[in-house]
Structure 1
Amino acid sequence: MKRQWKDKKGMESMGSRTGRHGKRISAEGAVLALILLAGCLVRLAALDKSPLGLHQDEAYSAYNAWAVMHYGVDSYGYVRPVYYTVWGSGMNVLYSWLTMPFLALLGTTVQAIRLPQAILGCLSIPAVYGLGKEMLDSRAGLLFAGLLAVNPWHIQQSRFGLESALAVPCFLFSMYFLCRYLNGKRKSVWGAAFFAGLTLYSYALTWILVPGVLALSLLFFRKRFSFDRRLLGAALLLFGMAVPLLLFLAVNFGWIPEIRTGIFSVPKLPALRTGEMELSLSAFKRRFLWLAAMLWAQHDDMWWITSEAAGSYYYISTPFILTGMCWHVKLLIDRVRKKRALPLTFLIAIWFAVAFAEGCCIDLAKYHKVNYLHIPVILYGCLGILCVWKLLRRMKGERMAAVGMWVTAGLYGLAFGYYLYSQASFGVHYEQYGNSALSHMHWYRYEEAIERAEELTDGDIGINGLNYANVMLYKKISPYEYMEQVVYTDDEPEFRTVRSIGRYHFDCMPGGTVEEGGTMEEGLSMEERLSMEERLSEEEGNSVKEDSPMVFVYPYMMEEVFQEAGYVTEHVTECYGVAYRE
């Protein structure tokens, strides 16, 4: 009986521990669910209104997605290319492919274009929770997830359909699976390799980041790697995914001719942007200072990517980020001196070091150019907070550590509230439309103006203050029609400027002659135009003929120019009007 009582008591004790453990797990699950809910709301709500308007990079990526869906070729006639040509120096293809199902379901709407980025931004929250849990514990995972969920930079980049921003979730997923693998979960190596391969198709600069991080991880954590068939298979998977891009480099460095097949293409671009990565000591020093200053300031001039009001990581995070970095330096020195293995949190240091070094090789790096750098910066803030909590627990006990946790949560809650307020009250200035930095808008409400211009004339239409990619997407110009009708200017091949596509003439002002064939011989670009009075006196006789069918679409900041030239102006939307001869 006594033994039975002891066994029962042991079972009850075990049951009570299991019950407490179950409650703890359910509490953590509830907190994670709340974090995920908040993160999803701020990434998905009113996706077509913030940022307002459709950026030309979003438009061109979506256009190529639509063109490949319906015609099997991109705007340059390449069959399912491994890299788009677009402006002349290329664009990554992965985001375009992920956009296709949403375009098929929702049409070529802003929501459809931005949904892939927003959804992957939401999925990044549980992924970073898993990363923190693998590196440390579930409490660290919740902290990682919480700070990422409310991070201003991550919220804004998740709401913007920039194709290169896809590198952020893809590489995060790869690092999560790599961390699981290093913790002994060997099957996760397939996930690490697969998402590393996808990362290569999301952003060209990750062609340096991915092998750099993987090589250093192998170097510092080689004892955690199991050199077996599974690892070899994963390496072959990654290499196989990279082969088309290796062929792309071989084609564009002139080692082999471009590849055109009925299944896929490897295009020869008009130009590569390799000049942005000049390697010299003086350039590295200048770019180091630029990048460090930008990260310290926590914003750049791109309002749709960074937050000047609250800070892209929150200004209150700066001491925590520095604390986390200092802790890692101290940890590295201590472990090397004692010849002890590094903890898995050192993956953050490897990630940051490679990303920052690569950022120092880029000319005028901005937040969107070094998007792969920001996750480790955010995680350093998390490590800094954990260090402070640990110090409080050691010096003042559990109660003071708990107070520190609540104070930290309160500070970030206030910062998050202020960020939401700053976004809600972020001024949109229609009178400055056409100047994104002042209007806080991308290309917006141009569709009705184009339709009105087409009602007024069967001839040529001059379109000002709007990128040609937006017109191509809206009018659904077939890639074959585009290739047949496009006329380029003599600009630099890295960013080719389109003068006209059929009847649509871009950045043209009154002063050219419209021939029967529909080309504007002497239209001036917006950048070249002078005031109306100066131009008319200098180019006497070049004004548009009275019987010309040319109708202009223009942003309102240009209205006076057309009125002084004798055109009738008509307001169509909040942003655009049309100008025509009666």
Structure 2
Amino acid sequence: MRIIDYYNYIATAACAFIGAAAVLIYKKGKNADLDKDKKAAEISANAARVILLVIMLIAAAVRLIGLGSVPAGLQQDEASLGYDAFAIAKYGVDRNGFPYPIYPITWGCGGGSPLMIYINVLTIKLFGTGVVKLRLLPAILGIATVYIFYLILKEITLSYKKSLFGAAFLAICPWHIILSRWSLDSNIMPFTLGLSVYLFILGIKTGKTYIYCLSAASYAVCMYSYGSATIVVPVHLLLISIYCLRKKIISIKQLVMAVLTFVIVFAPLLVFYAVNYLGLPEIVTDSFSFNKFTASRSGEVFLRFDSTLPAALYENIRQLLITLTIGDNDEMLCHFIPGYATLFEFTFPITFLGIFLGVFLGKKDIVNKTSENIASANKESAEDTSKIGSVTDEDKRLAMDAVFVTLLISCVLLAIGIRSDVSRMVMIFLPLIYFLVKGVSFIWDRKNTFAYAVMAVILFAAVLFVKDYFVGFNERAENIFMPGYGEAAKRAYEIAGDEKEIYSTYENLSAPFVLALYYTDYDPVKFADTVVYKDETDEFRVAESFGNFRFGLPEDYADYVGKDAVLILSGSELEAIDGVPDCTVENFGRYSVVYGSGE
């Protein structure tokens, strides 16, 4: 076992012990630290700004340094997103030939949500294509998410210390660092979700209708971010709206206005779903398209109501519990490093403590709020309180807490109902980190030294993670990100042009055609006209050829060298061309381009 494996056992035991000790102190009524001068314990606004700046610089460093080389290469889904963005930006059609699709169907069944693609359309128009440019969007939005999370916590906890801890944890969290450094469509969801939650919390604080409408618009944009949002967001909004109506946090008029705003922003996607699931005909114009999927993923994603349901439910619940605790070592290596899970393997006892406090003990207001902060909140919201009736600041604090409770419930329901993985469950981790902060806050208010011990444990693990990520991640994930292949495909196309055949290996590759498309800036109209898929009806259509590219080597591929063909070979396949005369080999790491010396 590695150092981190031993460390996880020790740290888990320490976190469980500290959490239990804090509960025991609370039960016995020995909350000595609660009686201390909280004003002295709380840091100043100026100090908080300096600390926050340091946190943001750390967040930026671990998300931006070596962005084009760690991970090395491109994963097929990020190449797919990048290519459709390129095609729309430069040619006005996606790779399936549809002009400005509301929802580019990418692989045929989706797999690339529109928000990420269309934001990349803008960046490509401004800056062009490239690995760093493709990954810059999730990296920058990842950094922004740290700041938004700080603002959320500041509104709820009324404490600089606790808000800074939450921001610092998100800044060094393994899940969020890895997510921010490559361009899967779900990887911008923490930002869009965090922004939506923050605006809703501002609505609760101010009582202003236009802020609720802005939040509704932001939640609707979430629906364009990733498929799982189409389940989580409506359930979450339904639950929190019912709660806020009952507590008189929001009026019926305000709710109606927010719902109308949501529907207006969501309307184009609603039409797309109607075309695909309600039988409406495709709508294709020169300016926009509502086109149909070529296959459905419902069977691959959702549970089936047949004899397999009990076993599938059990497996999903088991998977959820593993994700909520020690993390799943069977996840794809593009999402985690073994030993570090998502939120570190040892934090779950304190996270569960926070969930218990938020779900079951929220009305007791266990997390202490200083009289100074309460007075400040009273002053800021006196005018808005009069508008909503007898709603107190404590009612608002509890409603803000309920935002995360209902979001967690919605994410749990999703996880039980689908075949989940880290990307599909992406919306669950912000509420989990919130409840971790809530658990640490409870400990902080019982015994300061216990909270600092937890922070020290997290900090040491974060240092180990950063070292292991930047030193060893490429080696672990090379079969996923396929380093060198894209460069080899680009060079092969430069040599062959559109005249000579290009034969590509399939060794240690997944859907190499889409990397070839992205790296060569291939004409999407030409691609749509010439592509031959292995199976047109497959959920994920994979091309076996397009133009002069052929994916898969002929058995006698060595005989093709120098005969109007260019080869892309893996290292193990180079042996077959030893001794071939007039042969040039250009190496790109694990892959090489082979062609006749006269070409």
Q: Same fold (TM over 0.5)?
A: yes
Q: Report Cα offsets for 1:349-391 as digits up to 9, x if no partner.
A: 211111121012222x211121111111112211111111222
Separation of aligned partners in 2, 1:46 and 1:266: 38
Q: Which residue of 2 aligns with 1:356?
A: 412
Asked if the contact 1:488/1:500 (under 8 Å) is kept, the reply is yes
Q: Which residue of 1 aligns with 2:381?
A: none
What are the equivalent positions in structure 2 for 1:98-497 lying under 5 Å apart? 98-139=119-160, 140-186=162-208, 187-222=210-245, 223-227=247-251, 229-275=253-299, 276-280=301-305, 281-282=309-310, 283-300=312-329, 301-331=331-361, 342-363=398-419, 365-392=420-447, 401=448, 403-426=449-472, 428-429=474-475, 437=477, 441-444=481-484, 446-448=486-488, 450-452=490-492, 455=495, 458-465=499-506, 467-490=512-535, 492-497=537-542
CA displacement at 1:437 relative to structure 2: 4.6
Number of corresponding residues? 514
Say if 1:502 and 1:330 are closer, same or farther in 2 by CA, change over 3 A: same
Say if 1:406 and 1:28 are closer, same or farther in 2 by CA, change over 3 A: same
| Higher deviation after alignment, 21-30 or 141-150 | 21-30
Structure 2 residue 527 is matched with structure 1 residue 503:
no
Specify the code of the residue in structure 2 equivalent to 1:289.
R
Q: Which secondary structure state, in structure 2, belongs to the residue aligned with residue 462 of structure 1? A: strand
Q: Which secondary structure state, in structure 2, belongs to the residue aligned with residue 50 of structure 1? A: coil
Q: Report Cα offsets for 1:423-450 as digits up to 9, x if no partner.
A: 1321644xxxxxx756574343542464
| Higher deviation after alignment, 279-288 or 560-569 | 560-569
Separation of aligned partners in 1, 2:66 and 2:540: 32
Q: Which secondary structure state, in structure 2, belongs to the residue aligned with residue 42 of structure 1? A: helix
Separation of aligned partners in 1, 2:226 and 2:89: 22
Unpaired segments of 5 or more residues in structure 2?
A: 1-38, 366-393
Separation of aligned partners in 2, 1:507 and 1:243: 43
Q: TM-score, normalised by structure 1?
A: 0.81
CA displacement at 1:271 relative to structure 2: 0.8
CA displacement at 1:412 relative to structure 2: 2.2
Say if 1:367 and 1:557 are closer, same or farther in 2 by CA, change over 3 A: farther
Say if 1:114 and 1:546 are closer, same or farther in 2 by CA, change over 3 A: closer
Specify the code of the residue in structure 1 equivalent to 2:457.
L
Asked if the contact 1:77/1:479 (under 8 Å) is kept, the reply is yes
Q: TM-score, normalised by structure 2?
A: 0.79
Structure 2 residue 53 is matched with structure 1 residue 30:
no
CA displacement at 1:23 relative to structure 2: 7.8
Q: Which residue of 1 aligns with 2:587?
A: 572
Say if 1:127 and 1:504 are closer, same or farther in 2 by CA, change over 3 A: same
Separation of aligned partners in 1, 2:148 and 2:464: 26
CA displacement at 1:114 relative to structure 2: 0.8
Structure 2 residue 84 is matched with structure 1 residue 64:
yes
Indicate the percent of aligned positions where both proteins have the same amino acid: 25
| Higher deviation after alignment, 207-216 or 306-315 | 306-315
CA displacement at 1:196 relative to structure 2: 0.5
Say if 1:28 and 1:203 are closer, same or farther in 2 by CA, change over 3 A: same
Asked if the contact 1:182/1:224 (under 8 Å) is kept, the reply is no
CA displacement at 1:577 relative to structure 2: 1.5
Separation of aligned partners in 1, 2:258 and 2:568: 54
Separation of aligned partners in 2, 1:423 and 1:408: 22
Say if 1:177 and 1:147 are closer, same or farther in 2 by CA, change over 3 A: same
Q: Which secondary structure state, in structure 2, belongs to the residue aligned with residue 73 of structure 1? A: coil
CA displacement at 1:93 relative to structure 2: 1.0
Say if 1:321 and 1:558 are closer, same or farther in 2 by CA, change over 3 A: farther
CA displacement at 1:327 relative to structure 2: 2.1
Structure 2 residue 36 is matched with structure 1 residue 42:
no
